[in-house]
Amino acid sequence: MKLLASLLMSAALAAPAFPALAAGETPKAAKPDLAKGEASYAAVCVACHAADGNSTIAANPKLAQQHPEYLVKQLQEFKSGKRADPVMQGMAAILSEDDMRNVSWWLASQKAKDGFSKDKDLVALGERIYRGGIQDRNIAACAGCHSPNGAGIPAQYPRLSGQHADYTVKQLADFRDGKRGNNAQMRDVAAKLNDREVRAVADYIAGLR
């Protein structure tokens, strides 16, 4: 008994299993495991978001090269229902916090493919809104938060460039209606845009690079 106790004592002194955290310090999460992320992506997500995260279906967003913190936030909020979507709520429900991090960091490591604008007349209006906003209606320039080339600003402001216009139109409408209730800044921006402006800026974003 005495021997065991002293063995335990010396083991504890040599290698503390749970080092104490300094005041205000939060425990660090483990490094994301890209191989595990790729495996769960290939098992489930690939069917809708394509092998490299560059979905070719307009309703399913491209996810490649997106900021990982933003992706984790979306998956958590699909799971909680703060961002309403019946399909993605079911997908996110089966993911643990670690799964979300692994798959998001793997997606961020994939290369985004360029997209294209379609409507020559609308795209000029879209470019004006994206770059300069609409000052007399207090609509902020999208570029201010999402950057001039649409790459976003990590970790808060998502990448938009090359995204399917149909998907972007739906997000702006969902922000406006409160169906996507996970960001007040975007609700305010979308609330001030009419349908034509939404289509125009979405078309511009599709071709942005």
Q: Which of 48, 82, 128, 181 binds ligand HEC (CB under 6 A)?
A: 48
Contact between 61 and ligand HEC per CB under 6 A: yes
CA dist., res. 117 & res. 158, Å (int): 19
Q: Which of 14, 47, 120, 136 binds ligand HEC (CB under 6 A)?
A: 47
- In the complex, the smallest distance separating the C-beta of residue 119 from ligand HEC, rounded to whole angstroms, is 16
CA dist., res. 165 & res. 57, Å (int): 11
CB 103 within 8 A of CB 41: yes
Contact between 168 and ligand HEC per CB under 6 A: yes
Q: How many CA atoms lie within 13 A of 201 on its CB side?
A: 28
CA dist., res. 94 & res. 129, Å (int): 39
Number of residues interacting with ligand HEC: please give it, by CB under 6 A: 39
CA dist., res. 154 & res. 183, Å (int): 16
Contact between 208 and ligand HEC per CB under 6 A: no
CB 106 within 8 A of CB 31: no
CB 117 within 8 A of CB 206: yes
Contact between 44 and ligand HEC per CB under 6 A: yes
**Which is nearer to ligand HEC, 14 or 138 (by Cβ)?**
138
Contact between 173 and ligand HEC per CB under 6 A: no
How would you label 19-40 residue by residue, b for 16+ Cβ within 10 Å and e otherwise?
eeeeeeeeeeeeebbeebbbeb
**Which is nearer to ligand HEC, 4 or 144 (by Cβ)?**
144
The interface region with ligand HEC, picked from 14-22, 28-36, 86-94, 108-116 by CB under 6 A, is 86-94
Residues that bind ligand HEC (CB under 6 A): 44-45, 47-49, 59-61, 63, 71, 73-75, 85, 87-88, 91, 95, 103, 129, 140, 142, 144-146, 156-158, 160, 168, 170-172, 182-183, 185-186, 189, 201
